Amino acid sequence: MSYFSDIYKGIKTLLTGMSVTGGYFIRARKGAITQQYPDNRETLKMFDRFRGEVVMPHNADNRHYCTGCQACEIACPNGSIEIIWDRVVDPETGKKKKEIDKHIYHLAMCTMCGLCIEACPTNAIVWAQNYENSVYDRSKLTKILNQPGSSVLDGIED
């Protein structure tokens, strides 16, 4: 007798489960459909805080906010940031001032922890919302964040 009741129970629970999936099959709305990812690149927008990669914004005159204080380099847990800097004599005051030559960022080593951006006193580096970072050659993942010929904005002190 339990043989037949087992079969009955088995079929009953099978139909219960199928009523859920069948319900979705009939009532499938637009929201329930998977994103068509590579085809929706134009409309796909990441959240503002999304950690894509570290970038250094420059203004229209090719000026940035980085004073070369190296706080980001110290904060980075795995050495993804290297700063090559020099002391340059200010022609007006005659004082020596730190200035960056290259702000090197190794995207391949970056764990996207966000400690460098937290540490930056002048908000010179920010997160970009890129999400397609794959390249064919890993040397392309070593980026120089300051643009050629750029300099620090006047009046930015760390």
Partner 1 sequence: MTDQQAQNKIKTEEYFINMGPQHPAAHGVLRLILTIDGEIIKNVEPDLGYIHRSIEKMCERDSYQQIVHLTDRMDYLSSHINNEAVCLTVEKGLEIEVSDRVKVIRTIIDELTRIASHCLWWGVMGMDLGALTTYFYAFRDREMINDIFEETCGARLTMNYNVPGGLMFDIHPNFVKRTKDFIAHFKTKIPEYNLLLTDNVIFHKRTKGVGILTREDAISFGVSGPVARGSGFSSDVRKHHPYSAYDRVDFKEILFTEGDTFARYQVRMMELWESVSIIEQLIDNIPEGETKAATKAVIKLPKGEFYQRVETARGELGVYINSTGNKNPYRVKFRSPGFSNLSILNHISKDVLIADLVATMASFDFVIPDIDR
131 near partner 1, judged by CB under 8 A: no
Can you tell me which of 10, 86, 96, 140 binds partner 1, judged by CB under 8 A? 10
Shortest gap between Cβ of 49 and partner 1 (angstroms)? Answer: 4
Specify the residue, 85 or 127, whose C-beta has the smaller distance to partner 1. 127
Can you tell me which of 22, 28, 44, 77 binds partner 1, judged by CB under 8 A? 77
Please give the Cα distance from 59 to 21 (Å, whole number): 54
Can you tell me which of 55, 108, 115, 141 binds partner 1, judged by CB under 8 A? 115
Specify the residue, 9 or 96, whose C-beta has the smaller distance to partner 1. 9
14 near partner 1, judged by CB under 8 A: yes
Long-range contacts of 121-125 (CB under 8 A, 24+ apart): 121/69, 121/71, 121/158, 122/65, 122/66, 122/67, 122/69, 122/156, 122/158, 123/65, 124/56, 124/64, 124/65, 124/66, 124/67, 125/54, 125/55, 125/56, 125/66, 125/72
Helices (H), the chain: 2-26, 71-75, 115-119
Residue 43 gets which letter from DSSP? T
Specify the residue, 120 or 146, whose C-beta has the smaller distance to partner 1. 120
111 near partner 1, judged by CB under 8 A: yes
Q: Report the interface residues with partner 1, using CB under 8 A.
A: 6, 9-10, 12-14, 16-17, 19-21, 32, 46-47, 49-51, 75, 77, 111-115, 118-119, 127
